Structure 1
Amino acid sequence: MNQFQRYIKQLPIRWKITIWSSLVLFVLFVAYNSVQYYVMRTWMIEQEERNIQEKMNEIQAYFSEQPFFVGRTEIVNSSGFIEKVNEANELIRVIDKDGTLLVAVATNLPRELLITPVESKNLEHVKVNGKHYLIHRKPVITNGFIGYIEIIRDLKNYERLRGLIFLVTWSAGAGAILLSGVGGMLIAKQLLAPIQALTDTMKRIKMRGFKERVRQDKNQKDEIADLSNVFNEMMDDVEISFQKQKQFVEDASHELRTPISILEGHLKLLNRWGKNDPEVLEESLKASQQEVERLKMLVYELLELTRLESDRLELAEDFIEPVHVVEDVVKKFTLLYPSLTFKYENSLKSEMKVAIAERHLEQVLIILLDNAVKYSNGSTTVEIVTEQIQDHFALSIKDYGIGIPKEDLEKVFDRFYRVDKARSREKGGQGLGLSIAKRMVNNYKGTISADSEEGEWTIITVKLNGVIEEITQQE
């Protein structure tokens, strides 16, 4: 049994479906045909018994209802009537109370039944020489005779019909099971075709890359179609993730190459002859220190971004009043950049609380204001607005700098993206700030978006969900 189970488990799903469907249909056919055969056999037996009982009642009535005297002689002379009611494969006989045979009429029955009295009950099935007989015996009482009437019927027609029904029933059942096996294979093939397509697609992906997708029929709306849709969507995500990872590695390599090359150049310079020249030594050490600081900041931002993308950010469960955080950060930037004007407008009609850690909101603000300062392009004004949009707290930061091309608006939140790479490098940017800000806002179920007019202005809008309280300001 265990070997059979192991063998079944090793079979392909197509064969498992075929075997199990055939087995289930076999059990159903056996149960159905058994019940059907039993019902039909019982019905035919009852018909035979009812027929012989009706004939017995007819003969009894013939003898009992005669108006004249009915004795032994009249019983013997009644063979003409008995021959009329006698059927093929049937024996009718009359016996007196002592067991003496008076009349016997038989058609197509063996001779021994004619001379063998049958001591039977009222209605009995017996086997004689392998043949099936139905025997019915009842008393007959007239005004001149007391005896028994016996009807013996050979049920060979019943046996022949029963055998034919048995043969037809089980032959049809066997044929149906065979057809069900073939049908099971066809059904399994049809049902498993999408899964086979999915398997083939996986093999092609393994050989050719992430571009392959499962071909789908738009009219198919079953569970396998849902599985194919989920697989295609998953592969889209995997391909995008792979492309981002590849781009990240390329960008990180590019970003790391420059400071490392500068450090290498200064070290070679010092190693050749600069260590004996105080002026060159000081200049090289200063430049190297700057590049080390840049490397340090780049590594820190990469680690921060990796931590955010791996969902290891510890989300705050407390609720803060974001306006106070915005005001504090704006004051700090006003002191840090006295040549710039930071216009802050609070358009909230009520004090709102949002679910975000104060340090995280402050970090997002610093990133956005720092970008606004870097790309101001000589403009001296940065506008900050806080407002309520439906049930969300919204923060907008607008600068009047170089702007962003329309085709690049969706890229500004990608890692290492810079609108003006040359000028960004001069200002010390790594191209990771907006990526960190977006990931941090997304972790709090918020949204961040950008809009711009190239050469005129750029606005970054942050919306934070989870507003749980509104407190009306007292006048």
Structure 2
Amino acid sequence: MRRRLTGSIQSLPIKWKLMLGAALLIFLLFASYNFAQYLVLKQWMMKQEEDKIQVNMVQFQDYFQDKLASTNDLQIADSQLYVEKLTGKNQLVRILDKEGKPLVSVSNHFGVSWVVPKPVVIPELYDMTHKEEHILIYRSPLVSGNFVGTIELASNLETFDHFSETLLWVMLIGGILAIFISGISGLAISRQFMRPIRALASTIRSVKEKGLSERVTDIQNGDELSSLAKLFNELMSQLEFSFLQQKQFVEDASHELRTPITIVEGHLSLLNRWGKSDPAVLDESLEASLQEVRRLKKLVQELLTLTKVEANLLSESTTSIQVEPVIHETIKRFEVLNPEFEFVENTKNISDVMLLMNSLHLEQMLMIILDNAVKYSSITKKIVIEGNISFNEVQINVQDHGIGIPEADLPFVFDRFYRVDKARNREIAGTGLGLAIAKQLVLNYQGNLTISSRESEGTRVQLTFPIHYTK
């Protein structure tokens, strides 16, 4: 039964769970407060009744002390009129002798038989029930002169019980009303609370049916749910951008792969038709095919490198390296390969800088940037490499004086396979993956890679890394 009830509650919609939770919480708080208040009020009212009967006892004690100073039992009975005057409604007053025989007995709407006479030697105060009657009894010894007896005062707590019962019912009805109101309020609050969640759910269904362009709208509460909706929209924008990038990547990769494959297929077809017996055609076709195969091999290698870099799967160890020697050695290699270029090296400012990275990765970044600088510098063959320190960062700048990059193309130069229109020709080798690899390598080392350029004036590439320490 308990499991079934728990399962039923767990299967309820969130708004009903919130409503029930709010109603239960209000009920517990209200019931605890009312119960404590009821007990306090009841004790306070009982104390008032006890104080009242004690005051009456003092009055009777004083009267009979004076009366009995020089009288006997018979004259005590003459005090009936005085006792009747002091006896209130729902009260009983009795004077007993030492054997417990009533000498004076006055009652007002009170059954004399409800309380059995009892002589006492010490005062006693208590309450009792007789059938349906709740009675407060106070007995006190009466000793004066030659007289020894007992004064009995009894009060019917009918008014007290009626007030207590009324108070209890008022609190119970108030509790029920509070539960009802809290339930309605909880339902209203839960509906308001669930509105953004329903909007999120609806948007997710729309994304499933219509695609990643759907967004959550009309949530301007300024609360955590509004922040969640904003975060969801940002996530969907990133996902949409990633899917578009992936789609563009597939299209560009297909384009880059299709061209060399088509060339190889054309030359093989040429050889198959009539080139087998023509040495000139055979040599030309084999050379062109080998060139395209090498290009395909390079493209595949760069794709694998980019995948590893983006997943941060490169396993080379990371150590503290000195920056300047790596830059110097890389420039020397390019000077050998490109003797017609002038490489100006100005890295004295960073001669003592140490970076926490793999030296091969730094060399790969520099080679990618220098290779682009060489490929796109056709007239002024001068490349400047500078090193500076700014705050706690090292900056490596590579400036060429080549054809530059149009301003409209600058935001896309780090995209995979992206090549500026001027460079989209077969004369300038490249796959369009170099800067994407360099950018990801820089990010893996908490650095930054920026490019500024002007057409026909040149391009400036800046690498920035946090300094590990200086020697």
Range of TM-score over shorter length = over 0.9
Alignment correspondent of 2:242: 241
User: What does residue range 247-286 of structure 1 map to in structure 2 within 5 Å?
Assistant: 247-286=248-287
Q: Quick check: 396-405 or 307-316, which moved more?
A: 307-316
Native 8 Å contact 1:216 1:228 kept in 2:
no
Q: Deviations over 1:247-283 (max 9, x none)?
A: 1111111111111222222233333333343332332
Query: What amino acid maps onto 1:24 in structure 2?
Result: L
2:107 is the alignment partner of 1:117:
no
Query: What amino acid maps onto 2:302 in structure 1?
Result: E
Alignment correspondent of 2:202: 200
User: What does residue range 377-456 of structure 1 map to in structure 2 within 5 Å?
Assistant: 377-420=378-421, 423-456=424-457
Task: Tell me the secondary structure at the aligned position of residue 107 of structure 2.
Answer: strand
Alignment correspondent of 2:361: 360
2:62 is the alignment partner of 1:61:
yes
Report the Cα distance in structure 1 between the residues aligned to 2:372 and 2:310, rounded to whole angstroms.
21
Task: Tell me the secondary structure at the aligned position of residue 126 of structure 2.
Answer: strand
**Deviation of residue 97 (structure 1)?**
2.2
Report the Cα distance in structure 1 between the residues aligned to 2:142 and 2:149, rounded to whole angstroms.
5
**Pair 1:372–1:424, CA change in 2 (3 A):** farther
Alignment correspondent of 2:325: 324
Native 8 Å contact 2:323 2:353 kept in 1:
yes
**Pair 1:113–1:431, CA change in 2 (3 A):** closer
Query: What amino acid maps onto 1:174 in structure 2?
Result: I
Report the Cα distance in structure 1 between the residues aligned to 2:99 and 2:446, rounded to whole angstroms.
108
**Deviation of residue 378 (structure 1)?**
2.9
Task: Tell me the secondary structure at the aligned position of residue 451 of structure 1.
Answer: strand
**Deviation of residue 80 (structure 1)?**
1.4
Task: Tell me the secondary structure at the aligned position of residue 135 of structure 1.
Answer: strand
Report the Cα distance in structure 1 between the residues aligned to 2:151 and 2:293, rounded to whole angstroms.
126
Native 8 Å contact 2:308 2:314 kept in 1:
yes
**Deviation of residue 106 (structure 1)?**
1.4
Report the Cα distance in structure 1 between the residues aligned to 2:3 and 2:239, rounded to whole angstroms.
41
Alignment correspondent of 1:174: 176
2:4 is the alignment partner of 1:3:
yes
Provide TM-score, normalisation by structure 2.
0.92
**Deviation of residue 21 (structure 1)?**
2.7
Report the Cα distance in structure 2 between the residues aligned to 1:139 and 1:176, rounded to whole angstroms.
51
Alignment coverage as a number of residue pairs? 468
Task: Tell me the secondary structure at the aligned position of residue 9 of structure 2.
Answer: helix
Report the Cα distance in structure 2 between the residues aligned to 1:218 and 1:389, rounded to whole angstroms.
42
Alignment correspondent of 2:308: 307
Q: Deviations over 1:48-98 (max 9, x none)?
A: 111111111111110102386222232111111111111111111222223
**Deviation of residue 158 (structure 1)?**
0.9
Percent pairwise identity: 41
**Pair 1:466–1:422, CA change in 2 (3 A):** closer
Q: Deviations over 1:361-387 (max 9, x none)?
A: 111111111111111133322222222
Report the Cα distance in structure 2 between the residues aligned to 1:161 and 1:210, rounded to whole angstroms.
68
Native 8 Å contact 2:77 2:103 kept in 1:
yes
**Deviation of residue 27 (structure 1)?**
2.5
Report the Cα distance in structure 1 between the residues aligned to 2:162 and 2:313, rounded to whole angstroms.
83
Task: Tell me the secondary structure at the aligned position of residue 418 of structure 1.
Answer: coil
Native 8 Å contact 2:119 2:141 kept in 1:
no
Task: Tell me the secondary structure at the aligned position of residue 386 of structure 2.
Answer: strand
Report the Cα distance in structure 2 between the residues aligned to 1:345 and 1:371, rounded to whole angstroms.
20
Task: Tell me the secondary structure at the aligned position of residue 103 of structure 1.
Answer: strand
Query: What amino acid maps onto 1:390 in structure 2?
Result: F
Q: Quick check: 63-72 or 81-90, which moved more?
A: 63-72
Q: Quick check: 443-452 or 69-78, which moved more?
A: 69-78
Report the Cα distance in structure 2 between the residues aligned to 1:151 and 1:369, rounded to whole angstroms.
114
Native 8 Å contact 1:339 1:380 kept in 2:
yes
Query: What amino acid maps onto 2:187 in structure 1?
Result: M
Task: Tell me the secondary structure at the aligned position of residue 344 of structure 1.
Answer: strand
Gapped regions of structure 1 (runs ≥ 5): none
Gapped regions of structure 2 (runs ≥ 5): none
2:128 to 126, 129, 133: 126
Native 8 Å contact 1:122 1:138 kept in 2:
yes
Q: Quick check: 350-359 or 448-457, which moved more?
A: 350-359
**Deviation of residue 118 (structure 1)?**
5.1
**Deviation of residue 160 (structure 1)?**
0.6
**Deviation of residue 173 (structure 1)?**
1.6
Report the Cα distance in structure 2 between the residues aligned to 1:422 and 1:85, rounded to whole angstroms.
120
Alignment correspondent of 2:25: 24
Query: What amino acid maps onto 2:201 in structure 1?
Result: T
Q: Deviations over 1:98-125 (max 9, x none)?
A: 33322222111236449x5357872232
Report the Cα distance in structure 2 between the residues aligned to 1:63 and 1:103, rounded to whole angstroms.
12
Alignment correspondent of 1:153: 155
Query: What amino acid maps onto 2:408 in structure 1?
Result: E
**Deviation of residue 2 (structure 1)?**
2.5
**Pair 1:94–1:66, CA change in 2 (3 A):** closer
Q: Deviations over 1:142-166 (max 9, x none)?
A: 3353322211211111111110011
Task: Tell me the secondary structure at the aligned position of residue 70 of structure 2.
Answer: coil
Report the Cα distance in structure 2 between the residues aligned to 1:129 and 1:467, rounded to whole angstroms.
93
Q: Quick check: 128-137 or 142-151, which moved more?
A: 142-151
Alignment correspondent of 2:345: 344
Native 8 Å contact 1:374 1:424 kept in 2:
no
Q: Deviations over 1:361-414 (max 9, x none)?
A: 111111111111111133322222222233322222222221111121121111
Q: Quick check: 402-411 or 336-345, which moved more?
A: 336-345
Report the Cα distance in structure 2 between the residues aligned to 1:414 and 1:124, rounded to whole angstroms.
94
CA RMSD across the alignment: 2.3
Report the Cα distance in structure 2 between the residues aligned to 1:134 and 1:422, rounded to whole angstroms.
109
Query: What amino acid maps onto 1:79 in structure 2?
Result: Q
Q: Deviations over 1:21-57 (max 9, x none)?
A: 3223322233222222111111111211111111111
Alignment correspondent of 1:14: 15
**Deviation of residue 347 (structure 1)?**
4.4
